[in-house]
Amino acid sequence: MKQGIFELSSTPIYPIGKRYPIDERVFRYGQIYGVNAMGGRAVANLATAEEVTTATVASAIGATTVTIIVVAAAGLVANELQGGYLCYKKTRYYRHRIKSHPAAGNGATCVLTLETAIVGHAIAIGDTLIAYHSPWRRVGNGATYGALVSFVGWPFGDIAIGQYTWLQTWGPVNGAPAVFFGDLPSERQVWFAGDGSLTTFHVPSPQGGYQHAGFWVPCTWYGGAAHPMEDGGHLVFLQIAP
């Protein structure tokens, strides 16, 4: 590997979102953005401004490019939307993964190359298109976003803004509990609190819409979860993206 799972880089070594499976664990390559990542808790997708735009050129069935007007105030750097999705509706809903695109300023046109050809319905000039970033393009601690975030990966430690790293999305992780749990009967499901730390279904309840994190691994019939966990953290089987 050019960059190990516990290594950082100030420049991208792999495409954002690249999947790397190892033993029972799975990792995705991501960019820390906006807010530092904190060890022992999940990072959230902080991409708050998708490109809601229009097509400036017609794209026929079979085409693999779509031309849009850039609406982002800062424009788009080259391949910023790579690994994200172009979504639109004709009489059906369509989505295409974005393969590449050049840099383009605000108000300029930009040609998106798609990984799959357009099917079903051609895209006409003026059609509304929405281009989303990869879920792992802009990630960081979600605590300041008021529970308006979804968690997409688990960093190996504290990571500063601007760093590129592997984020675990599947398999055993240990980290900060929002509350101690696992010592009550049937208390096995684990959820993300608003800051990405781990909690049980009691606080918060799943009925409140909180995101499922995985399940509590150890057998705790002896009340082990009630013991202090500061040294090692709770061991949870993470279930974000296999």
Does the pLDDT of residue 208 top 70, yes or no?
A: no
**Residue 233 DSSP code:** -
> Is 175 inside a domain boundary?
yes
Single residue among 90, 112, 132 that ends a domain in this structure: 132
Question: What total of structural domains would you count in the chain?
Answer: 2
| Domain identity same for 117 and 148 | no
The confidence score (pLDDT) of residue 218 equals: 78
The confidence score (pLDDT) of residue 206 equals: 55
Q: How confident is the model at residue 145 (pLDDT cuts 50, 70, 90)?
A: confident
Single residue among 114, 132, 150 that ends a domain in this structure: 132
List the Cα angle 14/15/16 in 5-degree steps.
115
> Is 11 inside a domain boundary?
no
CA atoms within 13 A on the CB side of 88: 24
| Domain identity same for 41 and 151 | yes
Single residue among 90, 113, 132 that ends a domain in this structure: 132
> Is 6 inside a domain boundary?
no
Kindly state the average pLDDT of the residues 99-126: 97
The confidence score (pLDDT) of residue 187 equals: 75
Q: What percent of the chain has pLDDT over 90?
A: 65
Does the pLDDT of residue 201 top 90, yes or no?
A: no
Instruction: Give the domain CATH number at 66.
Output: 2.40.10
Mean pLDDT for the chain overall: 88
| Domain identity same for 103 and 205 | no
**Residue 203 DSSP code:** S
| Domain identity same for 25 and 145 | yes
> Is 7 inside a domain boundary?
no
The confidence score (pLDDT) of residue 231 equals: 55
Which amino acid, 160? A
- The rounded distance, in Å, linking the Cα atoms of 223 and 209 is 28
- The rounded distance, in Å, linking the Cα atoms of 110 and 104 is 6
Does the pLDDT of residue 1 top 90, yes or no?
A: no
Q: Domain of 106?
A: 51-132
- Indicate yes or no: pTM above 0.85: yes
Kindly state the average pLDDT of the residues 95-100: 97
Beta bridge mates, 177: 198
User: Which pLDDT tens digit goes with each residue over 26-78?
Assistant: 999 999 998 888 888 999 999 877 889 999 999 999 999 999 999 999 999 99
| Domain identity same for 151 and 221 | yes
